[in-house]
Structures are given as C-alpha cells and as structure tokens.
Structure 1
Amino acid sequence: MTNCYFVEHEIDYVRETMELIFRIVNGMSYELLKADMARRLGIKESGCIEELLDKLSEVEEGMKPYIDLSNERVLFYFKTFTGEDICRANILCQGTSYMKKEDSTERQKQKLIKYLKKIAEDDTLELILTKNDFQARHYEDETTHTLLERMEQLECEDADKWSILYLLNHAEELVEELFELVEPITAHLKEFEDVLNPLMEQCAAYWDDYFQTETIQVLIGNFYGVAENSYDEMVTYIRPQIMKCDYVLFYGNDETMGDYHIMEIGIAFDKNYRAKKCRMTNEQICNGLKLLSDHSKFEILKQINGTKAYGQELASKLNLSTATISHHMNSLMEFGFITIEKKEKKIYYTMNQGAIQDFMNLAMEELIGEKNKVS
C-alpha cells in the first residue's frame, strides 16, 4: 500500500500541560535546556534554538503560579521515579502515544483506562521500562507470564515495581484524579495560545512539506539507525510536541492499539535531527563511556559485532531476561551504538561499528589530543 501521512496541527493541551508540569516540578527549565544546547550547537543553529526556547521559557514562567508544588498529589503524579525522564503521570498516560487523537477528553480517559487494564490482564505482553517510556509488546518467544512475573522482570528497584503495579491495579481512579488535577491548569495554558499556535503551525508545516517526498522509513533511519523496511507501510500520524521540544519518539504499529504508526517529534527537530546531531559535551562522553564499560552491554555488543540477533536469542546466550536486553538496547540506541531491523515481529540488533569508532575517536580527542585517534 502507499503510505498516508497525517501531520497533526491541533495542539493537545492536556498532554502539553502534563509535560510542562513535569518539567516545572523537576526543575527542568527551558533556560537550562537553552544553556545546554548553546554548548553543543553551532552559532547559527544555537540562535534558532535559543529563540524557540525563549518563547517556551515565557510560557513556563507564566504558568508557574498555577502549579502548586506543595500539593502532595501533584508531586505523586509528576515527580520523577525509576529514571530521570519519567513519572507516574507518564505511565498512566502512555497509551495516548499509541492512540489516534480523540475529540472528547472523556473518550480519551476511557481508552487510557482500557489500555492500562489490557496491559495488566494480558499475560502475553512483556513490560519494558526505559528512562522516558513504558512499553508493552508480545513476548518474542510467545510465552505467557503472570502480572507479578512480568513486574519482576522490569529493570528497576522493587519499590518502583510495586508502584507501577499499583498504577495498573488502580488505573480507573488514578486516571480520573490525574485529569481532574490537570484540567484547571490546562485552562491557563490555553491563555498562551498566541505563543504556542505559531510554534505548532511552523513545525506542522515543515513536516507536511517533508512527507510530500519522503517516507517514515527514511526519517526513522536518520533518527534511530533503523533499517529501511523494518516497519510495514501503513498510515502514519506525525505529532509535533511543543513542551517536549527536545524528544523524538516513534511508536511503530503498537500491537495493542491498531494498524498505524505514530511518531512524536519535538519542535526543536528537523529531518537532520538538528538538536542532537552535534558535538557531545564531556558529560555525555562520560555517559557513553559508562555504557561501553558496563559488563552486560559490552557482552551484548560483542555478540552482535558483524552479525544480527534478536532479543530472546541474546537473552538465552547471556543468561539475561528479555526485559534486561530491551533496557540495555534502548540505552545503546540513544548513542547510536546499535542499529535495529524488524522482521516477522522480531527486532534484530547489530553493532554500529562506525558510530562506536567515531565516539571513541571523540573521547580520545577530548582526553589526549586530536592526533591520538583509534585506528
């Protein structure tokens, strides 16, 4: 079939509000993001990003009086846990990332509750937790596991596992409370539509133009190192994200939702991944070195050097759970150290030798000097 692309032009104020609350609660200001990007980007691109982030800072400062940081329920839903970029509200609302947009907030809530109940009740779904995402997908080996067994497989502290279990078992009441909490704050965010609407329209128009000639396969190849044709051609929804301006997330044909792809793209990005494809800071280099020095990740990379393997295969060889393999792969993919290919409902991984070589050269250059490179 021929791909059909639908770029959303309408702002999802509920989701944008939740992202802004998350950033304010955890001190992730746009001023700090601007300083970080200024260190990493060239002068021309830095100027474009700074102008964008100045507008988001204006909205952030205007919204702070409406977010009660002393409210324990606000902190319960929006304070980070398990990782630096995820909170309980993210997990409860993860299903919206897989859903076609609903006109009614009530319908959206009901679909979220249904999605969370399906995750809890379907023993064929493996649960995967990353630093900014909570996913469910069918086990590659087609096995079944109880909810408690699936919780035990998650890569996080026991207290966090119990917290996620609580969210799933009390989904209906928690989703209702969360939306009640966010609703009045959302009304105030809509007062900034004169700032937000132009940002949304500019980004949406860019992607409308892009998909006149390009495909989602080309784009995710640029962003993630995913082999072309790894995902079947089908209807694709492109969702520009305003408050989550520095993230790109691709949800390829989630098996629990429907036959379509959804890609969320922060407004700081273009087809060249401009907000990320830039020189790393020393902190990022250290984080990359930590990845490579981790024993399990190192062994995984050795197993897929010059060959490809899927998650269950690697788990069996290395005596690790498939959840652990997925957790490690998400970390390695962030640095481009692996490429992925999807075939017959299996995701195959291969070491990206060129990316690792470039990274090691950069680390050597920063530490010792430009002439001392990995040959």
Structure 2
Amino acid sequence: MKAFAVINPILEAIKYFYLKANNTCIRQKIDNIIRNREVTAEQAEAIMHPAMVLEKFLDENIVMPSCAEELFGDIPCIEGADSLNTCIAALLTDRALRSEIRNIDEAEQLLLSQTQPQAISNITINLTSANIHAAAEAHSYNGLLSVLEGLPLTNDSRWKILFVLQHYEQYVRLICNSLRSAVGLIEANPQLYAYALKDFEHDYSDISDIIEVIEDENGVDTASADGRVYPTVIGSNSFTVHTGESDGTRTVYYVGLSVRAIGRLPLRGIEKMDYDEAFRILADKNRMKIMQLLCGEQAYGLELAEKLKLSPNTISHHMSKLQKCGLVISSFEGNRVYYRANKAAVDEFIRMLSKKLRVK
C-alpha cells in the first residue's frame, strides 16, 4: 500500500456539489462532530479547516448547475432507512476515480468508451462499496436488479438508476460538463490545500487502523495489499473505497484528511446526548431488533446481517447510529469488531424514558 499526496479535483468537485445539492455544508459537519464527540468547537474547526477553506473558495466562485439536484442529490431511500451517501454522478464516475484519472476530459473519454456491461459493473460496484464480493459477482443486468432490490431504495430511485443506465452517454456528458468549471478551479488553486498534504505520504502509508474498523463494521474484507491511498479535502470526514475489477487486484482509497483525527475522539456518552434523539434512533424496527440481540449476546457485523436478513451496508448504518447515541459499544477480538449493548447506557435510557412518560 502506498500513499500519494495528490488530490483528485474530480472527486473534490463531486463532493462539493453533493454537499450543496443536499443543502448542507462543512459547518454542519463540524456541528455534528461537536455533538457526537468529546471535542471543543475550536478543536473541531481546526480538524476541518482545509475543507472549510476550499468550500469557501468554491462558494465564492461557482454557480450551481441547474441539474445539480438530479445529478448530485442523495439517492432517496425508503422512510426510516439511512442514506447510501451516493448520487447519480458518483455512480457513473466510479470507474474514472478508480483509474486515478484527474483530468475531466480524460475521464469523460474513458467513461464514454465503456460498454454497457462495464457501466453496469461499475454502477453495481459503487452501490455495494461496503460489500466488494457482492459487487464482483454482479456484473450483469439481472445482477444489478438484484442489488437494487436488496438496497433500501424507493421504487422511484430504482427506476431512476435504470433510466440513467439506459441514457448512459447523455448523463456522462451532462455530469462532466457540470463538473468542468469546478475541477478547473480546484486544479488551478493548489495553495488552498497544499499545506494540509505536507505529511500525507508518511502518515497514510499505513491506513490499516482505519481499514480495520471499516471492514469489521461492514463484516467484509475491503483491504487490498497493493491499494493506493489518496487524500480528499472537501470529504475530510469521509472514507471512500473504489474497488478493483473482479479479481480485486486494484483498490483505490480516498481518505478524508480528518478521518483519523475524528476517529480518535471519544464518543459522547448518552448522558450528554439528547434522549429524544436516542428514542428516535430506536424507533426504527431493525435497530430495535439489533438492540434485542445485543442485549443477550455480543455479535459482529456479518453475523447480525445474516440473523436479520439485512445487507452488511444496512447493518453498518444502523450500528453507526446506535454507537453514536451510546447504546452500543464495541471491542476488538482477533480481527473482528464485536458489538454489545452498553448496559449502563441502556439502563439509564430506560430510567429516563420511564421518568418522561410517568403520569403525574
């Protein structure tokens, strides 16, 4: 595994438009860090500073394309399900990012040269990024249909993805044209982020600590011996895996510059969290089933997925929510992360809930 202190302006532009199309910003991400982690506002801002600088520059110099919501908006999921954190643009550009292409014209040429089976394969790989083995086996149209059926998407979202595939060339051109201006600005202004990349090649030549948590939370193997690691600035708190072809020989990791620093911050305990928020999290029937299982015994991600007949990706989303509100804790055993109920937090939550619902 080798790290390269080079950003991909195509990825940065996609992540920027994704933020804006979903009416969010780096400031909101900082607020989420402060709410969920033991950290001061000043510390959180320092961790996310490179992303704030680049976002501000793009805000001042970019006009959002009229098709931003369609191309860069979150792909809607069914009510109660967590976002897949992807968009149409991300689905269609996966191959270019995996090929480490940073020139938008070169990326467009590569994407337009793909056959339909290749396009299907790359869309499927992006949709199943948390489960590489599933992606590798689903290169056919029927395989894509099976993947779409297994994800918590709305019917409209499934049809939209199939429609985009049917009009693949048109959408590739539209996406690349929408990105071109932002990509050019990011390329032309390296002074905005170069300082943050100074030690990247040394500090991220080994990201096993990050990968270990990611793969165990999802219950799958995402590591690659010859993986290549690149930074992302706008996606400072994101970790994106662009898997290799079916033989798994090439994996590209785009690691947010703040991921490691954020991961080392202790999660706030439930006593410092909003009890109403914890109650909302438990209102999801699958999360309640997970808690019922974990109150009886510990389990790891893939084990929970098999017991509840959910995808590893869905389990990962649920575990993230339950851990953030303090109801679930984890520990390493061998090469796996095991989850168990935080008995003290569960007891306190029940006590507080009883107090809130008590009839006077």
TM-score by length of 2: 0.71
Q: Matched residues in 2 for 1:225 and 1:108: separation?
A: 32
Task: Check the 8 A contact 1:140/1:312 in 2, yes or no.
Answer: no
Per the alignment, residue 52 of structure 2 pairs with 57
Does the CA-based 8 Å contact 2:219-2:301 persist in structure 1?
no
C-alpha distance in 1 between matches for 2:89 and 2:170: 13
- SS of 2:193's equivalent in the other structure is helix
Deviation of 1:333 after TM superposition, in Å, equals 3.7
Query: Structure 1 counterpart of 2:67, which letter?
Result: R
Counterpart contact for 1:224–1:333, Cα < 8 Å: no
Tell me, yes or no, if structure 1 residue 21 matches structure 2 residue 17.
yes
* 2:68 matched residue in structure 1: 74
Write out aligned runs for 1:157-196 (5 A): 157-196=154-193
CA deviations on 1:237-260 (whole Å, 9 max, x unpaired) are 222210011122445x55547413
CA distance in 1, matches of 2:305, 2:219: 22
Distance 1:79 1:49 in 2: 26
Whether the aligned pair in 2 keeps the contact of 1:240 and 1:264 (CA below 8 Å) is yes
CA shift, 1:93, in A, is 2.3
Q: In the aligned structure 1, how far is the partner of 2:171 from the partner of 2:18?
A: 17
* Paired-residue identity, %: 12
Output one character per residue of 1:24-72: Cα deviation in whole Å (capped at 9) or x when no partner: 33332222333333444445x6434313544533432332244334x42
Q: Are residues 1:295 and 2:285 paired?
A: yes
Question: 1:263: which partner in 2?
Answer: 253
**C-alpha contact (below 8 Å) 2:237/2:258 kept by paired residues:** yes
Verify the 8 A CA contact 1:19 1:243 in the aligned structure 2.
yes
**Contact 1:137/1:255 (8 A) holds in 2:** no
Q: 2:339 aligns with which of 323, 334, 352?
A: 352
- Given residue 55 of structure 2, which amino acid in structure 1 is its aligned partner? E
Verify: 1:240 aligned to 2:231, yes or no: yes
Match of 2:203 in 1: 206
Aligned to 1:31: 27
Structure (1/2) with the larger helix percentage: 2
Q: Which amino acid aligns with 1:78?
A: F
For 2:14, the aligned partner's letter is M
2:44 maps to amino acid: I
Q: What one-letter code is carried by the residue in structure 1 that aligns with 2:155?
A: D
Counting matched residue pairs gives 337
2:216 and 2:301 in contact (8 A); partners too = no
Distance in 1 between the 2:116 and 2:329 partners? Answer: 33
1:235 deviation in Å?
1.0
Find the aligned partners of 1:206 and 1:309 in 2 and give their Cα distance.
28
Name 2:4's counterpart in structure 1: 8
SS at match of 1:245: coil
Question: What secondary structure does 1:138 align onto?
Answer: helix
Change in CA separation of 1:233 and 1:46 when aligned onto 2, cut-off 3 Å: same
Q: Which amino acid aligns with 1:90?
A: A
Deviation at 1:162, TM superposition (A): 0.9
**Equivalent residue for 2:358?**
none
Residue 111 (structure 1) shift:
4.6
Q: Deviations over 1:153-188 (max 9, x none)?
A: 432111111111122222222112211221122222
What is the CA distance between 1:9 and its match in structure 2? 0.8
2:282 maps to 1:282:
no
Label 1:126 to 1:60 Cα distance change in 2 as closer, same or farther (>3 A).
Answer: closer
**Partner SS, residue 234 of structure 1:** coil
Contact 2:131 2:313 in 1 (8 A): no
Q: Distance in 1 between matches of 2:136 and 2:187?
A: 43
Question: 190-199 or 273-282: which moved more?
Answer: 273-282
Match of 1:344 in 2: none
Alignment of 1:38-49 (within 5 A): 38-42=34-38, 46-49=41-44
From the superposition, tell whether residues 16 and 365 of structure 1 become closer, same or farther in structure 2 (CA, over 3 Å): farther
CA distance in 1, matches of 2:304, 2:214: 25
Match of 1:28, SS state, is coil
- 1:301-324 deviations in Å (ceiling 9; x for gaps): 66684566958983xx76x5xxx4
Distance change (3 Å), C-alpha of 1:301 and 1:254: farther
Letter in 1 for 2:42: G
What secondary structure does 1:352 align onto?
strand
Change (3 A) 1:68 1:147: same
Aligned to 1:156: 153
The verdict on how the C-alpha distance between 1:190 and 1:121 changes in structure 2, with shifts beyond 3 A counting, is closer
Cα distance in structure 2, aligned partners of 1:91 and 1:240: 20
Aligned counterparts of 1:339 and 1:90: Cα–Cα separation in 2: 31
What SS is found at the alignment partner of 1:72? coil
Return 5+ residue gaps in structure 2 as ranges.
Answer: 78-82, 356-360
In structure 1, stretches of 5+ residues that fail to align are 342-347, 370-375
RCO higher in 1 or 2 (8 Å CA, sep ≥ 6)? 2
